Chain A
Amino acid sequence: MEYFATELLTLLFAALRSATPVLAVVLGEAMTQRSGVINLGVEGQMLLGAMTGFAVASVTGDPWLGVMAACFAGIALSMVHAILVLGCGANQIASGVAVLILGGGLSAYYGTPFVGDKIDTLGNLNHTFVSDIPLLGQFLGPITPTVLITLLAIPAISIFLFRTRTGLRWRSTGESQDITRNLGHNPVHYQLAAIAFGGLMSGFAGAALAVDYTANWVEGMTAGRGLVAVGLVIVARWNPWYALPAALLFGASEALNLKLQSWGVNISPYLLATLPYMIPLSVLMLSYRGLRASGGGMPAGLSVVFQSAR
């Protein structure tokens, strides 16, 4: 029983750590979509953030500088989406794919010299008071700063979105741009901020992956995490609190994948590696069923993009 509980808690905390980059993207993308804009480019922004963060950490020797640089890289790339969508009125999906390809290309091009570099990590909670907590200490110890920052972002975003005037206008922009306009505000400003925030979070997510979680840079290392996150936003019903369990789905399937391999389960690692895509996709199916029945909180401005020709 105790063995079982330990294994389960180990798995849960492993899931939390591997879920963190995805969680950050889900939070950012949920905020973007709340303003009525969808951005598939988060995958590319995440890659550029990961590469930039790792490169800066490697050159300066300061991983925190790397995290900051990653955030800026994410914002910078997201501005391409902002210019195309808000400035030119281009199709949001197509623009997102353009940003996705650009981010992948730029990170591969400029990241090559840094492949195999060693960087200092951000550290973790081991050797602090937390790791001395009885029973739970061994699980809380390996938690790293990006996990904590991302978790803290949940209540912060929630308070902003649901308890402030700006948050109200942010949400109303996603429901109907006319409402925001009638209130005397420019909806485009909110959407610009929303895309930039999505850029910030996806850049940060890249750093959480490359600088913190793996301390490594490999071309294309996000492997669809950003795209999984875009799907999970729907599972999370655009709600920052539900983003955590949604992202944990990805984390748990990845942790389970690694765990099953370490147990020597006789299944090909390549089949197991499909779990982090198949499980979120399966939950997405269930979630859509609920969405169809109830409307499920999809920002009205999004349904135009999401349910084309339906």
Chain B
Amino acid sequence: MTNATQLPVTLGLRLLRGPAGAVLVMATIFVVATLAFFAINGREAVSLFQEMVMGAFGDSYSFSETLVKTAPILLTALAVALPARLGLISVGGEGQLYLGALFGTGAVLAAVDQPGWILMPLMLAGAMAGGALWGVIPGLLKTRLGVNETISTLLLNYVGILLVSFVVHGPWKNPNSLGWPATIEFPAGAIMPQFFDTRVHMGLVFGIVAAIILHILVTRSRWGLGLQVSRSNPRVGATAGISYERNVLIVMAVGGLLAGLAGIAEASVIQNRLQDGLASGYGMTGFLVAWLAGQHFLRIIPLSVLMGGLLASADSLQLYAQLPKASADILQALLFIIVLAVASLWGRRRDI
């Protein structure tokens, strides 16, 4: 007994049983969890939640701030998702971001008197080299010695942050900054282009373009196919002339390079200088976004915007509603936990 009205219903139900249903369940649980978190802490849960959404997407200024946060999240998420294509779990986005800022700033300081058309490419090249270096090191440790990349990237994050502290407190400190640990202000030629009188900058464009290019490379090119083969069976790959070792170095370097761009964008556009606490936490948020997206490059783009919105609204709520900054971390963690749980259970149920 099928009739015309039943068809959409069955189709809808079938859709809900798939990924769309999982996303709906995740979103519902996350909203409930967020409301519960606010309520437990004695806040007006619903109105605070509304303010949060408005703080992220409410007007053009809020949305521009959301996009400002999106850029580093997007780039560091790509730095996680690309190595994941080879089965590597890199948590090194944070350190690579700092190293990018460090090397990029180094290039700016070395060529500070040069015109913008020399300075800007030098700065970006420096940033990419720095980030790539902090990706290649754990890559080499992995291929040469077998050191687990998760642990080495996590430890190198701390080293990278300390290296930036070292230069801004020491050799690169601006003598006229009255004790404030920071470099000199970047010259105009080293400030990355921004759009529509906002702080939204080229980093976002880099991220979107990189995501699209990576998606095409990984799904459509020989190299991308090689990654898949290498991942599932390095030996088979080797007989086909695909070097697992070389691919590890490539994905770690390219990932690091992208995170490095995020770092120099923060220093150049947001801070106008290199200083302590450049971008605390973007690397971890990027890791989270990459996982939420299932390491899928194109899905990372909208999810980075959403997560950028969460961080931007947390910033504005910190100002207007005295909501502690740490709530952004807690909400991110809750979202991550919910998504991991639902996705794992959903996948398992479908297997049965």
Complex Cα distance A165/B58, Å? 62
Tell me if A231 and B155 are in contact (CB < 8 A). yes
Min CB–CB distance B301 → chain A (angstroms): 20
Tell me if B340 and A101 are in contact (CB < 8 A). no
Tell me if A40 and B327 are in contact (CB < 8 A). no
Choose among B147, B166, B327, B332 the residue with the greatest number of A CB atoms under 10 Å from its CB: B147
By a CB distance below 8 angstroms, the chain A residues around B157 are 224
By a CB distance below 8 angstroms, the chain A residues around B23 are none
Dominant secondary structure at the B interface:
helix
Interface size class of A (residues with CB under 8 A): 35 or more
By a CB distance below 8 angstroms, the chain B residues around A93 are 89, 150
Tell me if B155 and A228 are in contact (CB < 8 A). yes
Given contacts A97-B284, A274-B163, A285-B145, contact A84 B337 (CB under 8 A): yes
Tell me if A309 and B234 are in contact (CB < 8 A). yes
The size of the chain B interface, using a CB distance under 8 A, is: 51
Does chain A have a CB within 8 A of B16?
Answer: no
Which of A94, A98, A309 interacts with B87 by CB under 8 Å? A309
By a CB distance below 8 angstroms, the chain B residues around A227 are 151, 154-155
By a CB distance below 8 angstroms, the chain A residues around B156 are 277, 281
Min CB–CB distance A256 → chain B (angstroms): 15
Does chain A have a CB within 8 A of B336?
Answer: yes
By beta carbon, the residue of chain B nearest A94 is: B291
By a CB distance below 8 angstroms, the chain A residues around B231 are 309
Given contacts A91-B340, A309-B87, contact A281 B330 (CB under 8 A): no
Tell me if B329 and A310 are in contact (CB < 8 A). no
User: Beta-carbon contacts of A65-82 to B below 8 Å, as 1s and 0s?
Assistant: 000000000000000100
Question: Which B residues from 134 to 182 make CB contacts under 8 A with A?
Answer: 141, 145-148, 150-152, 154-159, 162-163, 165-166, 169-170
Tell me if B159 and A97 are in contact (CB < 8 A). no
Tell me if B336 and A268 are in contact (CB < 8 A). no
Complex Cα distance A212/B133, Å? 39
Query: Tally of A-B residue pairs with Cβ under 8 A?
Result: 149
Which of B159, B329, B344 interacts with A277 by CB under 8 Å? B159
Min CB–CB distance B15 → chain A (angstroms): 23
Complex Cα distance A109/B336, Å? 18
Which of A83, A108, A288 interacts with B341 by CB under 8 Å? A83
Tell me if A101 and B158 are in contact (CB < 8 A). no
Complex Cα distance A307/B151, Å? 12
Complex Cα distance A280/B154, Å? 12
Tell me if A101 and B162 are in contact (CB < 8 A). no
By a CB distance below 8 angstroms, the chain A residues around B169 are 268, 270
By a CB distance below 8 angstroms, the chain A residues around B146 are 288-289, 291-292, 307, 310
Does chain B have a CB within 8 A of A136?
Answer: no
Complex Cα distance A280/B148, Å? 13
Does chain B have a CB within 8 A of A105?
Answer: yes
Complex Cα distance A280/B230, Å? 30
